[in-house]
Amino acid sequence: MNIFIEGLIKEIISGINLRFQNSEYLLGKENEKMLKDTLYKELVKPSSEQSRTPTQIVNEFLQEEFNQSFAFTPANFGEKAHQLIMEWGMQKAKDISEQ
């Protein structure tokens, strides 16, 4: 699943950078690395121990970094990221139901 998570994170970061292209915000390399690490740390946990969705993690991170409220949804990160987030959610639900 780590390869899946790495791909998911890559697509999320790409989607944020795309959305920020025509805005006053810039994620930057340092923030990008911190966000990747934050996402990875949460998403590699067993499903039952994950307390936030990828979208929640991103919105909270961006709010802390920019002192601005963000309301990204999975669709805001692009079609590929949206699909991967939905797959992540379905896998999490399956994992939890099997426990």
The pLDDT tens digits of the residues spanning 43-59 come to 999 999 999 999 999 99
What total number of domains does the chain contain? 1
Q: Taking the mean position of all CA atoms in its chain, how far away is CA 34?
A: 12
- Write down the number of H helices and E strands in the chain: 4, 0
Is 90 exceeded by the pLDDT of residue 12?
Answer: yes
Looking at residue 45, what DSSP letter applies? S
Structural domain harbouring 81? 2-97
Task: State how far the Cα of 25 lies from the Cα of 63, in Å rounded to an integer.
Answer: 12
Average pLDDT in the chain: 95
